[in-house]
Structure 1
Amino acid sequence: MVMMPFPEYYRQSNTLVTSDLSLLDAFHLLFAAVLEASKTDSICSIFRGLESTLRNLEPMVKDRGSLSLPKEKTRELVELMRKGEALVGKCLMRSHRICWNKHHYAKKLRKLEDDILRLVRVYVPLRICLDSKELLLEVKDLGLEVRKLNDFMEEEVRGNVKRSEGFESCEVPKEPNFMVGLDDSFRQLKGQLLKGGVSRLVLSAPKGFGKTTLVKKLGHDADIEGKFKNIFFINASKSPDFMVMVHKMIQSHHKGVEVPDIETEADAVYQLQLLLTQMGDGPVLLILDDVPSHSKSLLEKFVFNKLPDYKILVTSRFEFPSFGPAHQLSRLNHEDAQKLFLHSAVPQFGSPQAPNEDLTEKMVELCDGSPLALTEVGKSLCGKHPSIWRSVLLELSEDPSLMDSGSNILDHLGRSKLG
């Protein structure tokens, strides 16, 4: 079909009556409009998915034998494509305005794409003729999204992708500059990650016991980085939605490439599996940090037993026995507790103003080996006069339950006369 400038093409196409349009005509008009719109830099990104879908449908529309739609469904598809053509025209005309809602039209285009595929999936046993060979293609719910992801990966290789600004990376956060009392657990977990066999691990401990500190350290260990060429770190309490988590992983792996929104959890599972299988450059380590207690079903969605060299490390205050073996972090012994407390309580720069040893010992004993309590109490007392230390020690001694929660400690110390 000979392409003409879009404004002229659009005026001519609007003179046709729906009943006079064949499916092939309606398809060609819509496809031509989409191809023309894709040439406009400011809006080309929102047409990428629809263009890919129409390209996949084109051989089947041309080969009328491949289409077995009932008459009423054919009319519905023709009308849908004609409305789509009008929608594309509106996008083109309004995109030149200073204020236009690109997101609004992107949603409408995705719905158009979904509606077209809904009709085709249900009624059409699609057949594609390729290189003189017939290839039977069963259209599945997830097929389109897989093709979309492949298209984006190919575009990334060519360098023709648009990248999102300020996307949230799944890289391991900066490793801590101070860690105490976790060396044994570090060695054990590192050994389990490096050896074969166990593919899922749970690091369990109460709040503030150093779970996140430990996995950050593991994520930056030279041996771990040497084995796992792809390491993802996701805070599950901040992003508890599975579809959002998978979207972040895909976008992070492709360095901020704009990827289509994921519509269903089934689609997210499929796209995650596709992403993992297409990482041919080495083993994968997924770190899911701070997983809530009700997330057993969420964890299972990340499991693909047939994928080699794919390991999941979970941190949580709760154990998930059916998910994988758990490693427990314990309270700090007295020596390590004192090191952690003094690291927080004694100024690193300037004149240290540490109280006498007896007062320090009592404060460390009161914190009962809880890393969170030792750290937060130490920070609050850092640089304060010994008289304030005694006052806080007395208040906390009267209510030891405050040591069970970091937030309560902070609230309590905030009300104290810390100067």
Structure 2
Amino acid sequence: MAAANVGGAFLGAVFGEVLEVVTDSIRKARKFKPQLEKLKSTLESITPTIQEIVKLNENLDRPKQETEKLIRLLRDAEELVHKCSKQKKWYSVKKIIRADDLIKLNESIKSYCTVVLQVQSARDGLEVLEVVNSIKTIVSGNEQVGGVFNRVKIDEIDGPCSVPDLREKTPGLDVPMKELRTELLKDDGMQVIVVSAPGGAGKTTLVKKLCADDQVKDKFRENIFFVTVSKTHDEMAIVRRIFQHKKCDVPTFQKEEAAIDDLERLLKSFGQKAILLVLDDVWSESLVQKFKFNLPNYRILVTSRYVFPHFGSGHKLKPLDDEAAMILFRSSVTPQDGEPYFFDENLAKKILRVCKGSPLALKVVGGLLCGEPAAVWQSKVKEWDRGVANFISATELLVCLQSSLDALDEEVKECYLDLGSFPEDQRIPITALIDMWMELYECVEDGLSAITKLHKLSNRNLVNLFIARKNASDDGYYNDHFVMQHDLLRELIIYQSMLEPVERTKRLIIDISGNKFPKWWSEKKTNPIHARLLSISTDETFSSCWYELNAPEVEVVVLNLRTTEYTLPNFMENMGKLKVLIVTNYGFLPAELSNFSILGSHSISNLKRIRLVHVSIPSFGVQMSNLQKISLVMCNVGQAFKNSNFQISDAFPNLLEFEIDYCNDLEELPVGLCDIVSLKKLSITNCHKLSTLPEEIRKLVNLEELRLASCTELSELPEMVTELSNLKLLDISECLSISELPTQVGKLRNLETLCMRGCSSCRLPESIIKLERLNEVKCDEETANEWEPYKLCLPKLKVEVLKEDINLNWLRKLHL
């Protein structure tokens, strides 16, 4: 390219053309209006600077290499805008791609101007060159210095690390801002403060609001450095920006370590002055560690989609409440120069329900509806009521949410996408996820791999973990652990599952309202489905009349229901690879479950795990030879145990795990269960009517874990329990009626863990000293005192006192 073509005149011409094309296309390409308006706003914001570059380039009469990339970006913008204007048919995928391209292009222009080759810095450099040239002419005696210093006041120019202007409204942020300010201004506060939330939750807005606060500005004054980090960060670039911001000579860095060292020296030179470093949109905890220095009055404020546990609990930003959401939405649909063209309170409330309190969603949707008539509002609300696809595909929202998932490694991402199998706003038992993931992804037997994945997701603000007792999972017991999804991210999961044809999707998630099946299903317009996971949610009016479904590859079926009567679908009989069945009733009353006999079909003999929640089971009169685990939670089981025409051991001859939790009609354990000699884990918890255990329990010779926690009416452990020679764990926590352990408990030579929290009245027999392998007792403080005399005889023994740290916050989410 010739020098003239990269000079100021050419740049100015290109810039003017592009700005004119964008302005004209906003009127023509209404489907891309939000993205085009943002592009226009970016171009207008840098107009004065571009004009300055044009003028100075002409004065210097030389090519400027730093403008080449900007010219290419502007040409790309012009070409893309023309394509958007010409696109007449609004195919969903093409629209998403085009709109995504507009967003990325806008970000590239902004990044060029503010991060890599900042327009501000380029202008300053040009002005310095002009001054140098002027000085040269003075030395030569040819002309006087111009008025460049009178024209430019250096102190009035924003530096590279200046806090961005807060242009948008900030409803709902006053309380978190005050809490954050209190922590920030503490003299003995944490050096690193992390504000975390999912993408689009308003973290950056909150921090900009904080930095504009008078008390914060009064403390940190000119030493507030605001740096946008993003996913692909460069430590040396961050340091350079801080040096430039302080108008210091920028050292030449060969390595990142040298840059960090130089920054520390620079900050130390400030003496006792307070310093605030804001690192916005951080994706790596290790980056923050690098900027920690042993300096007085030095604070680092971080915004991230992740929770960084090393820096304390941090501040989790919550979704907006209805009042704040309405204020923000109304602001988003109001043009800058007047009142909304149309606004309807009832329609707005429906839109708020879709947006789930997400500031990003409210602003995106508000931008889509700004200036639109009533008909468009009504059409959009109707469209979103039918499904999530058109809402999530509002591209700026999709790109932001998608980036949270793209940052996950593939296996964790797959596990996260499985969470969409469960209904919105419902707690998901971690034990259910373990059952799924052990079969789908071959997680380790004790569930630790699944728990690790969930902690990764929690640390990335993709889920909320609810743990009733902090120490509950130390021995592999996760029944008191739950997880909840963020609503918009669940919508993204469902949206992604809809992008592929039904026949090829990995996970098929279906919501049925009334008896309205998806069109492809009711009209049988599909080939065999190859999904590995099938989730079907039905409401209170569903009649259990099923259409046939050909899904031979399904390995996990999740059925979410709300009716008092429910029939298992016959099409499950054709799922030869089915390994896991999870049936959960979210209605008020237990659901009568029928067609249970289908589970004994030879065609689904690979079934390994069954989890039934809040249902009534008429009978277990069906043989499932390969079943390894059955979990019954909040179920009516008394009738099934009493009325079964054949032994429960015949139904589950190879069962390894049996869990019964919160089954209030269980008064006695069926004797036949003790004939399942393959059983390794038996858990009967929170069954308050259970009063006795059969002596036949001695037959469970392979039993390794026996949990009886919170069975408050259980009066004793039968002496025959001591015949369980392979028992490694015994849990009788909160069994308030047990007054003593069996006399010959010392015969449990393989017992390693004994849990007896809340058993302070339980006497310990002398045979305790024979428990040579016992290395851990978990109990309350009073019970711990009873164990003191036995520690000398049991040198491996560790007595752990569990504090009453029950967290019942998750009960607010319990709808069963």
Per the shorter chain, which TM-score range? 0.5 to 0.7
Counterpart contact for 1:347–1:383, Cα < 8 Å? yes
Quote how far apart the aligned CAs of 1:361 are. 1.4
Highest CA radius of gyration, 1 or 2? 2
Quote how far apart the aligned CAs of 1:168 are. 6.0
Query: Structure 1 residues 404, 195: CA separation in 2 closer, same or farther (over 3 Å shift)?
Result: farther
Q: Do residues 170 (structure 1) and 161 (structure 2) align?
A: yes
Q: Do residues 233 (structure 1) and 221 (structure 2) align?
A: no
Quote how far apart the aligned CAs of 1:225 are. 1.0
Alignment match, 2:757: none
Alignment match, 1:206: 198
Q: How does 1:4-403 map to 2 (within 5 A)?
A: 169-197=160-188, 198-229=190-221, 230-237=223-230, 240-254=233-247, 257-280=248-271, 282-292=273-283, 295-304=284-293, 306-400=294-388
Counterpart contact for 1:236–1:291, Cα < 8 Å? yes
Aligned mates of 1:402, 1:205 — CA distance in 2: 24
Query: Structure 1 residues 278, 385: CA separation in 2 closer, same or farther (over 3 Å shift)?
Result: same
Deviates more, 1:178-187 or 1:350-359: 350-359
Quote how far apart the aligned CAs of 1:211 are. 0.7
Alignment match, 2:42: none
Aligned mates of 2:213, 2:158 — CA distance in 1: 25
Quote how far apart the aligned CAs of 1:359 are. 1.3
Deviations 1:300-330 (A, max 9, x none): 11001x2110000000111111134310111
Aligned mates of 2:311, 2:355 — CA distance in 1: 32
Deviations 1:211-265 (A, max 9, x none): 11111111111110111131100000177111111111111112xx442321111
Counterpart contact for 1:376–1:410, Cα < 8 Å? no
Aligned mates of 2:363, 2:257 — CA distance in 1: 43
Deviations 1:326-374 (A, max 9, x none): 1011111111111111111133434532233221211112211111111
Aligned mates of 2:158, 2:337 — CA distance in 1: 36
Counterpart contact for 1:176–1:217, Cα < 8 Å? no
4+ aligned runs moved over 6 Å, structure 1: 98-103
2:316 is matched by which residue type in structure 1? Q
Counterpart contact for 2:231–2:282, Cα < 8 Å? no
Aligned mates of 2:358, 2:195 — CA distance in 1: 17
**Which SS does the other structure have where 2:342 is aligned?**
coil
Aligned mates of 1:311, 1:405 — CA distance in 2: 39
Aligned mates of 1:214, 1:201 — CA distance in 2: 13
Aligned mates of 2:63, 2:396 — CA distance in 1: 48
Query: Structure 1 residues 167, 223: CA separation in 2 closer, same or farther (over 3 Å shift)?
Result: closer
Query: Structure 1 residues 281, 322: CA separation in 2 closer, same or farther (over 3 Å shift)?
Result: closer
**Which SS does the other structure have where 2:300 is aligned?**
strand
Which structure features the higher share of helix residues?
1
Deviates more, 1:391-400 or 1:338-347: 391-400
Aligned mates of 1:321, 1:169 — CA distance in 2: 30
Aligned mates of 2:380, 2:230 — CA distance in 1: 32
* Alignment: residue pair count: 249
Quote how far apart the aligned CAs of 1:281 are. 6.0
**Which SS does the other structure have where 1:290 is aligned?**
strand
Gaps of 5+ in 2: 1-60, 67-131, 133-153, 400-816
1:399 is matched by which residue type in structure 2? G
**Which SS does the other structure have where 1:383 is aligned?**
coil
1:369 is matched by which residue type in structure 2? G
1:300 is matched by which residue type in structure 2? Q
Aligned mates of 1:380, 1:398 — CA distance in 2: 18
Which structure features the higher share of strand residues?
2
Query: Structure 1 residues 248, 341: CA separation in 2 closer, same or farther (over 3 Å shift)?
Result: same
Counterpart contact for 2:330–2:366, Cα < 8 Å? yes
Q: What TM-score, normalized by structure 2, do the two folds share?
A: 0.29
Counterpart contact for 1:208–1:406, Cα < 8 Å? no
User: Matched residues, percent identical?
Assistant: 41
Query: Structure 1 residues 179, 102: CA separation in 2 closer, same or farther (over 3 Å shift)?
Result: closer
Aligned mates of 2:198, 2:210 — CA distance in 1: 19
Aligned mates of 2:239, 2:263 — CA distance in 1: 6
Counterpart contact for 1:286–1:313, Cα < 8 Å? yes
Counterpart contact for 1:169–1:252, Cα < 8 Å? yes
Query: Structure 1 residues 370, 199: CA separation in 2 closer, same or farther (over 3 Å shift)?
Result: same
Q: CA RMSD in A?
A: 3.0
Counterpart contact for 1:337–1:364, Cα < 8 Å? yes
Gaps of 5+ in 1: 1-97, 104-159, 412-419
Q: What TM-score, normalized by structure 1, do the two folds share?
A: 0.54
Structure showing greater relative contact order (alpha-carbon pairs closer than 8 Å, 6 or more residues apart)? 1
Quote how far apart the aligned CAs of 1:102 are. 12
**Which SS does the other structure have where 1:203 is aligned?**
strand
Quote how far apart the aligned CAs of 1:279 are. 0.9
Aligned mates of 1:99, 1:377 — CA distance in 2: 47
Aligned mates of 1:352, 1:100 — CA distance in 2: 47
